[in-house]
Amino acid sequence: MNDPTTIRRLYGRRSGHKLRQGQAALLEELLPAISVPEEGPVDGRTLFGGDRTLHFEIGFGSGEHLAFRADLLPDHGFIGAEPFLNGVVGALTHVRERRLTNVRLHMGDALEVLERVPDGALSFVYLLHPDPWPKARHAKRRMVNHGPLDLIAAKLKPGGEFRLGTDDPTYCRWSTMIMNAREDFEWLAESAADFLIRPGGWPETRYEAKARRKGHEVWYFRYRRR
Ligand SMILES: C[S@@+](CC[C@H](N)C(=O)[O-])C[C@H]1O[C@@H](n2cnc3c(N)ncnc32)[C@H](O)[C@@H]1O
């Protein structure tokens, strides 16, 4: 890996406000039932008992996007990783309310799970509003760096898609620069509308709604793995 500092460290908060009783029960009962196993390969067979089109979301926040996509595509398998406890509870709540059977979660570092996915096994990888790390000296911590991108590229099948959303102008410029330097991804934008208007099937997350309320612009990037 080119960038082990980003791969190997988790940054930021892991828990926020105290959980209510029902939320604690979700964590105790539903999470173990749908957790990614702690060891071994992470593929359709081990997670869902057979081959499936697989999607992977890095840092799913409260899980709105993951749950929406899983509901939309019930025959596909969805893997989400998020270290933030209250976010995991949010995702579990969506899974229960929508009665989703095609979602598996990991409470922790997405890259640790991604490493265990066989090469070329994923059809989609989502990275929505990654932590911006706006200071230049923290740029190495940004998820959009060649180390994590090499891993994402390895796990996507040719023709698979990497979706990235951000409302942070610095991150937008940074990721465009990093992605443009890569030969293994093709940017699927033909006009400005393709990255200024949220594509169909890409729901708004709570984070994005908050960003819009603050008057931020949001940019949507879709890249095809060559
Ligand atoms: C700004 S939030 C956006 C959340 C969500 N994607 C959304 O759009 O609402 C960034 C999220 O990335 C998560 N995150 C940061 N590093 C991560 C990592 N290595 N693996 C998984 N999630 C990570 C954080 O915990 C946080 O919830």
Exposed/middle/buried for residue 80 (C-beta within 10 Å: 0-12, 13-18, 19+)? buried
Q: How far is the CA of 59 from the centre of ligand 1 (A)?
A: 3
Phi, psi of 200 (to 5 degrees): -60, 150
Q: Is 167 in the pocket of ligand 1 (CB under 6 A)?
A: no
End-to-end CA distance of the chain: 20
Looking at 11-20, 178-187, 197-206, which range is the least confident one?
11-20
For range 209-219, the mean pLDDT: 97
What is the structure's pLDDT at 48? 98
As annotated, the active-site residues are 131
Q: How far is the CA of 65 from the centre of ligand 1 (A)?
A: 12
Q: Give yes or no for a contact between 60 and 118, defined as CB atoms under 8 angstroms apart.
A: no
What is the structure's pLDDT at 213? 97
Rounded to whole angstroms, the Cα distance separating 84 from 93 reads 14
Q: Is 10 in the pocket of ligand 1 (CB under 6 A)?
A: yes
At 105 the three-state DSSP class reads strand
Q: Give yes or no for a contact between 112 and 79, defined as CB atoms under 8 angstroms apart.
A: no
Probe residue for ligand 1, chosen from 131, 170, 171, 202 as the CB with the greatest number of ligand atoms within 8 Å: 131
pLDDT at 202 over 80: yes
What is the structure's pLDDT at 1? 45
How are beta strands 77-81 and 185-187 bridged, if at all?
unpaired
For range 207-214, the mean pLDDT: 96
At 213 the three-state DSSP class reads helix
Tokens standing for residue 173: 């410029």
Rounded to whole angstroms, the Cα distance separating 117 from 42 reads 5
Q: Is 83 in the pocket of ligand 1 (CB under 6 A)?
A: yes
Q: What is the pTM of this model?
A: 0.95
Rounded to whole angstroms, the Cα distance separating 20 from 189 reads 44
Rounded to whole angstroms, the Cα distance separating 224 from 119 reads 16
Q: Could you read off the pLDDT of 25-34 as tens digits, one per residue? A: 999 999 999 9
Percent pLDDT > 70 in the chain is 94
Cα→Cα distances 202→10, 70, 113, Å: 26, 12, 23
Q: How far is the CA of 39 from the centre of ligand 1 (A)?
A: 22
Q: How far is the CA of 55 from the centre of ligand 1 (A)?
A: 16
What is the structure's pLDDT at 10? 62
Q: Is 109 in the pocket of ligand 1 (CB under 6 A)?
A: yes
What is the structure's pLDDT at 47? 98
Q: Could you read off the pLDDT of 147-168 as tens digits, one per residue? A: 999 999 999 999 999 999 999 9
Residue type, 104: R
